[in-house]
Amino acid sequence: MSPEDVEILKSLEFPAIFTNTTIFHQCILPVSSFFNLFTLYVIKTRSPKSIGAVKNYMIWHQLCNIFTDVWITALVRPNLFYPFFVVVTNGPLNLLMTPILQTSILIGALHSTACVIVITLFYRYQTLLPLGHFLKIRDEIRIHQAAVIVFVFSFLNGFFSLYVLNVDIESEKAYLVETHPFLKYIFAYKHIYCRRHDNFLLLFTLNIVVMFTFCVMITVTMLLLTFTITDRNASAKTKRMQRFFTLKLSFQLVLPLWFLGIPGFYLAVSVLGKIYTPYSGICNMGAVFAVSTHALVSSVTTLFFWKNYRMFVVFLFVNIFKKLKGNSAFPIFPSHQPSSNMR
Closest CA to 110 of 232, 312, 285, 269: 285
Residue with the larger pLDDT of the pair 20 and 112: 112
| pLDDT score of 302 | 42
For residue range 258-309, what is the model confidence (pLDDT) as tens digits?
544 444 444 444 444 433 334 443 344 443 443 344 334 444 434 443 444 4
DSSP class of residue 200 equals H
| pLDDT score of 37 | 72
- Average pLDDT of 179-202? 40
Long-range contacts of 211-216 (CB under 8 A, 24+ apart): 211/110, 211/114, 211/257, 211/260, 211/261, 211/264, 212/260, 212/261, 212/262, 212/264, 212/265, 212/268, 214/114, 214/257, 215/254, 215/257, 215/258, 215/260, 215/261, 216/261
Q: Is the pLDDT of residue 39 over 60?
A: yes
Question: How large a percentage of the chain has pLDDT more than 70?
Answer: 1
Return the CA Rg of the chain. Answer: 22
For residue range 205-235, what is the model confidence (pLDDT) as tens digits?
555 555 555 556 555 655 555 555 455 566 6
What is the DSSP annotation of 232-300? Answer: TTS-HHHHHHHHHHHHHHHHHHHHHHHHHHHHHHHHHHHHHTT------GGGSHHHHHHHHHHHHHHHH
Does 21 fall in a domain? no
DSSP class of residue 83 equals T
Question: Can you tell me the distance from the alpha carbon of 279 to that of 157, in angstroms, rounded to the nearest whole number?
Answer: 19
Give the 3-state secondary structure of residue 329.
Answer: coil
| pLDDT score of 44 | 72
Does 314 fall in a domain? yes
Does 339 fall in a domain? no
Residue 307: partners with Cβ closer than 8 Å, 6 or more residues away: 129, 133, 134, 135, 140
- Average pLDDT of 312-322? 51
| pLDDT score of 191 | 36
Q: Is the pLDDT of residue 20 over 60?
A: no
- Of 55-69, 170-184, 314-328, the range with the lowest mean pLDDT is 170-184
Structural domain of residue 308, as residue ranges?
97-324
For residue range 101-151, what is the model confidence (pLDDT) as tens digits?
555 555 555 555 555 544 544 443 334 444 344 455 555 556 555 556 656
Residue 47: partners with Cβ closer than 8 Å, 6 or more residues away: 55, 58, 241
pTM above 0.95, yes or no: no
Residue 274: partners with Cβ closer than 8 Å, 6 or more residues away: none
| pLDDT score of 224 | 57
Return the H-helix or E-strand segment holding 50: none
Does 199 fall in a domain? yes
| pLDDT score of 157 | 55
Does 254 fall in a domain? yes
Contact 256, 296 (CB under 8 A): yes
Q: How confident is the model at residue 327 (pLDDT cuts 50, 70, 90)?
A: very low
Highest mean pLDDT among 10-14, 172-176, 326-330: 172-176
Residue with the larger pLDDT of the pair 36 and 85: 36
Residue 107 identity: I
Does 307 fall in a domain? yes
Contact 196, 276 (CB under 8 A): yes
| pLDDT score of 301 | 39
Does 237 fall in a domain? yes
Q: Is 243 exposed, middle or buried (0-12, 13-18, 19+ CB in 10 A)?
A: middle
Q: Is the pLDDT of residue 175 over 60?
A: no
Q: How many domains does the chain have?
A: 1
Question: Can you tell me the distance from the alpha carbon of 267 to that of 250, in angstroms, rounded to the nearest whole number?
Answer: 25
Residue 230: partners with Cβ closer than 8 Å, 6 or more residues away: 238, 239, 242, 243, 332
Does 77 fall in a domain? no
| pLDDT score of 233 | 62
Angle at 35 between CA 34 and CA 38, to 5 degrees: 85
